Amino acid sequence: MPEIEEQERGTTHEPVLAGYQGQPGSFGARAAARCGRPVAFPTFERMLRALLAGEIACAVLPAVNRVEGPILESLDALARSLAQPESRVTIGAEIEVPVRLVLAAPPGLALEDVREVHSQAAALRQCRDLLARLDAIPIETHDTAYAAFRVKEAGGARAAVCSEEAALEAGLLILEEDVSDVRPNATRFWRLDRAAEPESLAPRVVFYAGVRASSALAEAEAELLSLPGTPAEPVRGFAVVPEKSVARAAAGTARLAAGERVRWLGPAPEFVRPPRMKEIPKVTEVREPSVVAVGPFVVGGGRRAVIAGPCAVESPEQILRLARAVARAGATALRGGVFKPRTSPYSFQGHGLDALGWLKEAGDAVGLPIVTEVMAPAQVGPVGARADVLQIGARNCQNYDLLKEAGASGRPVFLKRGFGTTVEEWLSSAEYLLDAGCKNVILCERGIRTFEKATRGTLDLGGLLVARSLTHLPLFADPSHAAGRRDLVPGLARAAWGAGVDGLMIEVHDAPESALSDGPQALLPEDLEELLDEFGILPGASGSVERIRRAIDGVDSDIARLAARRLDLARLVGAVKKSSGRPIRDEAREASVRARFAEALGEDSLGATRLADALIDLALEAERRGDPPTD
Ligand code: PEP
Ligand code: MN
């Protein structure tokens, strides 16, 4: 069968060769491994020549480091290579590599005896604090991994700044960890290709020469990586142009003075990034995550929230009680069905527009926007007049007339996935909403129908993650309808939260036995509180000291558990230090622990230092005593 032959050929084909400057074990090698089989080159010039000659398929070049800024040696080599008329290098991707540098020396050399520190120029510039503290002489080598080998060979009072792997590889002992001035440190590499077709995610990188070009790019909010000038081009460098200002950057650099130039190394300005799926262009557009905000309810782009409330609005009193309960738990939107899609025509169908009034009053009373389902195009007008968010239920996911009507209503739409709908079909339904002009769409996975009957639906987390990779829209999960059983809801909620959903929709009732619909799957208000506390969601204002104390209790038990784990780890590291002859105390390490707390609690916070010091003291005590772990 031809398909199988194709696959077999695929498995035997040669991997692409990806060049880097340096030695195995260097950060460049790590970046290259993300593009193909790494091939080492002693200099950037040789690497670029090999790329242009077609000896390697691509090459990685360190462009910017968090501490150091632009990396002049490599950018300058690229600029010089671009000056050759036949050079057709393009930039196809940006790869960020975390940079953890250590100070390492041959066994026997103590930190205070180090006189020379060997490393690559750029790495040495990232460790100014260390060099000042040691009062050692920096010696440049052409890459960090080579520095480790040199130091091992030469011996004496020499140490190297390199990666931990390079140090271990060369047989050095680590004297100090994480020695860069800024932690965490990282370097952005560019993948260089030979005049390839632009990929949809390639960065918009420009080479520029000239004052006007540089100021036009700066005005377009590009990130300028300027290089030292040459007599011919006193002002020059590279610029990374954010997607939103590509048109501005192109217009600003369209007419330049004599001798000035710009050259787009990533996709040209007129290149429009194709959507991830051709047939679903608006939903799968390559852009920053969409944020949906309705009053206190904000989701997408890192903001997460919970919509909670009863399955159905049953009475003015019921919805007001539950509105207060979910607001106090920390939910920022109130749900409640007024038109209920029921399997049996004899089941409760919802209290209709009367219930919408009760829902609205309850939402207003606690300051939460309301979410309710529309089942028919004719309901969109009257419901949209009062509801803040229109829900389209699983049964109507592919009701295209309803999608068109709801999409044109001017209200945000919360679209559930149908239980027999593929991810692609679900996204196509969302496309109807965007195409009808809807600016705020939220997608919600609520369990699909599978052979499994033990749960009401099967919460498709894999499908949810596939959707995440395809769309910029906020994604929710509804563990209540997926489970159909109260006891399974917290576990599914945690799984979805852990998978990175932008939010959850959860059904809640305070008298589930007498609920008019979906009682068996409703969480009790106190269960909701506990769950939202676990997710770190702040309780809503309710004036209850007891409620807030419950949240604090949860935090305390987490802290206590983490403190015990921290002590276990301290004992472990103590044992490793003893067996490798390293001292127990490491002041630089202690400083980085304090810095981490200061970052989280605020630079000026006295509490940050006190907390960090308390933990460090406890850890040192545990390391010295070498107690066995707690369990
Ligand atoms: C609901 O949210 O109450 C509901 C009916 O959900 P679904 O459409 O997911 O069944
Ligand atoms: Mn329900």
Reported as a single tens digit per residue, the pLDDT across 141-173 is: 988 989 999 999 999 999 999 999 899 899 999
Mutation probe of ligand 1 site: the residue of 347, 399, 481 with most atoms within 8 A of C-beta: 481
Q: How far apart are CA 297 and CA 305, in angstroms?
A: 7
Q: Is the pLDDT of residue 29 over 60?
A: yes
Above pLDDT 70, what percent of the chain?
Answer: 97
Read off the pLDDT of residues 435-464 as tens digits, 9 standing for 90 and up. 999 999 999 999 999 999 999 999 999 999
pLDDT at 558: 95
The residues facing 21 across adjacent strands are 41
* Ligand nearest the Cα atom of residue 417: 1
Read off the pLDDT of residues 403-437 as tens digits, 9 standing for 90 and up. 999 999 999 999 999 999 999 999 999 999 999 99
Read off the pLDDT of residues 563-597 as tens digits, 9 standing for 90 and up. 999 999 999 999 988 887 778 888 878 888 998 89
pLDDT at 431: 98
- Ligand 1, atom nearest to 395 Cα: 8
- Ligand 1, atom nearest to 312 Cα: 3
pLDDT at 2: 41
Residue range 316-323: mean pLDDT, rounded: 98
pLDDT band at 88 (very low <50, low <70, confident <90, very high): confident
pLDDT at 465: 98
Above pLDDT 90, what percent of the chain?
Answer: 82
Give the Å distance between the CA of 530 and the centre of ligand 1: 23
Q: What is the mean pLDDT of the chain?
A: 93
**Which protein residues are within 6 Å of ligand 1, measured from CB?**
311, 337, 341, 393-395, 416, 446, 478, 481
DSSP 119-159: EEHHHHHTTHHHHHHHTPEEEEESSHHHHHHHHHHH-SSEE
Read off the pLDDT of residues 16-25 as tens digits, 9 standing for 90 and up. 999 999 888 8
The residues facing 225 across adjacent strands are 238
pLDDT band at 8 (very low <50, low <70, confident <90, very high): very low
| Unique residue bearing structure tokens 């390490």 | 589
CA distances from 12 to 36, 97, 147 (A): 15, 29, 37
Give the Å distance between the CA of 540 and the centre of ligand 1: 25
- List the shell of residues around ion ligand 2, using CB closer than 5 Å: 311, 518
| Unique residue bearing structure tokens 């710009």 | 262
pLDDT at 140: 95
Residue range 470-499: mean pLDDT, rounded: 98
Q: Is the pLDDT of residue 627 over 90?
A: no
pLDDT at 629: 54
Give the Å distance between the CA of 545 and the centre of ligand 1: 34
- Ligand 1, atom nearest to 517 Cα: 3
Please enumerate in sequence order all residues whose Cβ is within 8 A of that of 432, keeping only pairs 6 or more positions apart, or say none.
Answer: 400, 403, 404, 407
Query: Can you read off the two tokens belonging to residue 364?
Result: 């207003």
